[in-house]
């Protein structure tokens, strides 16, 4: 019997042989382009790192692109890009948020890469010893837990909402991020929006002034762990999403905030969060997409405004959702690197979005794919772009019709327009909208639910390091012929042959130093089975 490792190697070998024969197939692949061997470097977001690492592995295997990505944090990504230490940064926050010490270079631009959600990942057992799987939290409870005002799991305010969980009288171990991160910024922005009284009181007590969202989590400026009613005595601070999720996966009675993919990798539950309509929703490909209909992206700056997302009136929306994006240069990059970078972004905006849901994210909607195409065209040395966006050139799930458009975030400053897509039946159609810069007809995605709408706890591996996501898709069984088919079609657009693999690296670095150092990411050839998908649910 052929094991998974052998099967993976066989698929890679077959794909490599097919790539070698592509010029003979009349696809116009140039065996020695000027960009051959060029390596593009990037660093930043751990929020988006699972998806980025997967794409890095895929584009090397299928296209021969050399991308060296170090997962650190959004602020480090912005800093290192501003200092010219990397070719691109990855972040959920922009320079206008004032979280960096360095100013960006002239000619920079933001390019959306994936949609995600902040999961409140927890590891709690009830009085019977069973893992709690359906923890429900209101914005007020979340605010009080993450400002240290509620410190025990059986607090009356929690048990009143979760009477069947049989929560015990044990301290809540809150795990916060110690580095300046996009996760901190998104989550504090959420708290400042939905529970401004608790958040401003918390920051005023700890820091001496009311403060809005921050990439650095507040701690008492005078030292210690307790100020008035705000108690961080049972807290633990971890650098990076992987370390925070590792801690919670191996530590009972703990809770943290990480992108959903990290909970999926550990097979750990995410809390059901009450949205503005009163429904309790768990993050999912569906729930995230519903919420992000309300996101606002300013075309002049490329940055997003998440307040409307957190307050989305859609009853199926998971409120703590956001887009992540790459920060790139236009003229300030060599033509050889520009070709590699633009091909990478074209891949992730199109074919790469096929894996977004499997990895714990949600695909980019069509108008943000168009925004990426427009940004690619401004990049020095960029690859030729397809003349149209349709299923033959851009297998984004929204464009192929696998997922019908739920609606798109308005692009502020964009003229009213339309886009050409493919509907569920596979035929070309043009969709329009009354809202400026948006398009797409409303439709319903069907969420995948387990028994009772919960996620099973089986297969949990507490204490193990997060499996390397960049090899995950190549390591799992799947429709190999379909994958190769999409790759062949995509190669016809790009025309970039395979060379050698540059191993992606990462290092956790403290926010105080904002250093440009990194440690190697482990390309784990033994990536484990895919975790259960997290599911949204409607009002009780």
pLDDT at 35: 56
Strand partners, 118: 259
**234 occurs within a structural domain:** yes
Nearest to 110 by CA among 295, 294, 298: 298
Residue 162's domain spans which residues?
A: 120-285
C-alpha distances (whole Å) from 118 to each of 110, 260, 408 are: 21, 6, 20
Nearest to 180 by CA among 259, 263, 91: 91
**258 occurs within a structural domain:** yes
Q: What is the 3-state secondary structure (H, E, C) of 239-255?
A: CCHHHHHHHHHHCCCEE
Sheet holding 88-91, edge to edge: 66-71, 39-44, 88-91, 321-329, 108-123, 254-259, 173-177, 236-238
53 three-class SS: helix
Sheet holding 136-137, edge to edge: 136-137, 272-274, 280-281
- Total count of domains within the chain: 1
108 phi and psi angles, rounded to 5 deg: -90, 160
What is the rounded CA–CA span in Å between residue 61 and residue 69? 16
Cβ(47)–Cβ(153) under 8 Å? no
**257 occurs within a structural domain:** yes
Within the chain, how many helices (H) and strands (E) appear? 16, 18
> Residues with Cβ < 8 Å from 499, sequence gap 6 or more?
36, 37, 64, 66
pLDDT tens over the chain, length 540 residues: 434 333 333 333 333 333 332 322 222 222 234 456 799 999 999 999 999 999 999 999 999 999 999 999 999 999 999 999 999 999 999 999 999 999 999 999 999 999 999 999 999 999 999 999 999 999 999 999 999 999 999 999 999 999 999 999 999 999 999 999 999 999 999 999 999 999 999 999 999 988 899 999 999 999 999 999 999 999 999 999 999 999 999 999 999 999 999 999 999 999 999 999 999 999 999 899 999 999 888 767 778 899 999 999 999 999 999 999 999 999 999 999 999 999 999 999 999 999 999 999 999 988 888 889 989 999 999 998 877 666 567 888 887 778 766 666 655 544 332 222 222 222 322 222 222 222 222 222 222 222 322 222 222 222 222 233 333 333 433 334 444 454 455 455 444 433 322 333 332 333 333 333 333 333 333 333 333 333 333 333
**263 occurs within a structural domain:** yes
Nearest to 307 by CA among 326, 320, 325: 320
Residue 228 structure tokens:
């008035």
Nearest to 60 by CA among 480, 379, 487, 355: 487
Residue 355 structure tokens:
């894996």
Cβ(45)–Cβ(179) under 8 Å? no
> Residues with Cβ < 8 Å from 443, sequence gap 6 or more?
404, 405, 406, 424
Which residue matches tokens 């751990």? 46
pLDDT at 386: 74
Exposed/middle/buried for residue 376 (C-beta within 10 Å: 0-12, 13-18, 19+) = buried
Nearest to 341 by CA among 56, 32, 30: 56
182-194 vs 196-207: helix crossing angle, rounded to 10: 120
Residue 393 structure tokens:
């050139």
**146 occurs within a structural domain:** yes
Q: CATH number of the domain at 206, please.
A: 3.40.190.10
What is the rounded CA–CA span in Å between residue 381 and residue 385? 12
Number of residues assigned to the chain: 540
How far, in whole angstroms, is CA 455 from its chain's centroid?
20
| Alpha helices in 209-284, H assignment, sequence order | 241-250, 260-266
Residue 43 structure tokens:
């660093």
């Amino acid at each position: 019997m052929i094991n998974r490792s052998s099967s993976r190697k066989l698929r890679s070998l077959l794909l490599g042989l097919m790539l070698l024969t592509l010029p003979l197939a009349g696809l116009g692949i140039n065996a020695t382009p000027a960009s051959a061997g060029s390596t593009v470097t990037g660093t930043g977001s751990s929020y988006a790192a699972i998806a980025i690492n997967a794409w890095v592995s895929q584009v090397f295997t299928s296209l021969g692109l050399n991308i060296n990505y170090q997962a650190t944090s959004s602020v480090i990504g912005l800093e290192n890009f501003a200092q010219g230490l990397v070719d691109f940064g990855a972040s959920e926050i922009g320079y206008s948020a004032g979280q960096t010490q360095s100013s960006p270079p002239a000619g920079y631009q933001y390019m959306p890469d994936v949609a995600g959600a902040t999961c409140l990942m927890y590891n709690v057992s009830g009085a019977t010893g069973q893992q709690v799987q359906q923890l429900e939290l209101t914005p007020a409870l979340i605010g009080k837990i993450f400002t240290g005002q509620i410190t025990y799991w059986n607090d009356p305010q929690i048990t009143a909402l979760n009477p069947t969980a049989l929560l015990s009288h044990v301290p809540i171990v809150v795990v916060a991020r110690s580095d300046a991160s996009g996760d901190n910024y998104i989550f504090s922005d959420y708290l400042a929006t939905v529970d401004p009284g608790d958040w401003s009181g918390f920051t005023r007590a700890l820091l001496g002034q009311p403060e809005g969202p921050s990439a650095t989590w507040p701690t008492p400026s005078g030292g210690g762990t307790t100020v008035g009613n705000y108690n961080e005595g049972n807290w633990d601070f971890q650098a990076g999403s992987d370390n925070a999720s590792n801690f919670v996966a191996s530590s009972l009675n703990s809770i943290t905030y990480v992108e959903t993919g990290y909970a999926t990798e550990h097979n750990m539950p995410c809390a059901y969060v009450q949205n503005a309509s009163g429904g309790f929703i768990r993050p999912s490909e569906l729930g995230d997409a519903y919420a992000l209909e309300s996101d606002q992206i300013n075309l002049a700056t490329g940055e997003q405004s998440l307040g409307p997302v957190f307050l989305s009136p859609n009853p199926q929306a998971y409120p703590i959702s956001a887009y992540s994006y790459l920060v790139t240069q236009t003229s300030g990059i060599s033509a050889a690197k520009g070709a590699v970078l633009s091909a990478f972004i074209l891949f992730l905006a199109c074919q790469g979005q096929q894996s977004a849901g499997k990895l714990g994210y949600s695909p980019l909607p069509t108008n943000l794919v168009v925004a990426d195409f427009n940004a690619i065209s401004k990049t020095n040395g960029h690859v030729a772009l397809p003349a149209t966006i349709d299923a033959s050139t851009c297998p984004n799930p929204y464009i192929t019709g696998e997922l019908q458009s739920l609606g798109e975030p308005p692009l502020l400053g964009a003229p009213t327009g339309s886009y050409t897509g493919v509907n569920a039946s596979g035929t070309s159609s043009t969709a329009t909208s009354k809202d400026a810069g948006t398009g797409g007809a409303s439709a319903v995605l069907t969420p995948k639910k387990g028994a009772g709408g919960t996620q099973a706890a089986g297969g949990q591996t507490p204490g193990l390091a997060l499996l390397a996501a960049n090899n995950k898709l190549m390591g799992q069984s799947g429709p190999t012929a379909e994958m190769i088919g999409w790759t062949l079609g995509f190669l016809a657009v790009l025309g970039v042959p395979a060379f050698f693999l540059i191993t992606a690296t990462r290092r956790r670095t403290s926010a105080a130093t904002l250093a440009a150092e990194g440690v190697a990411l482990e390309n784990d050839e033994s990536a484990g089975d895919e975790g259960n998908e997290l599911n949204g649910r409607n009002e009780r």
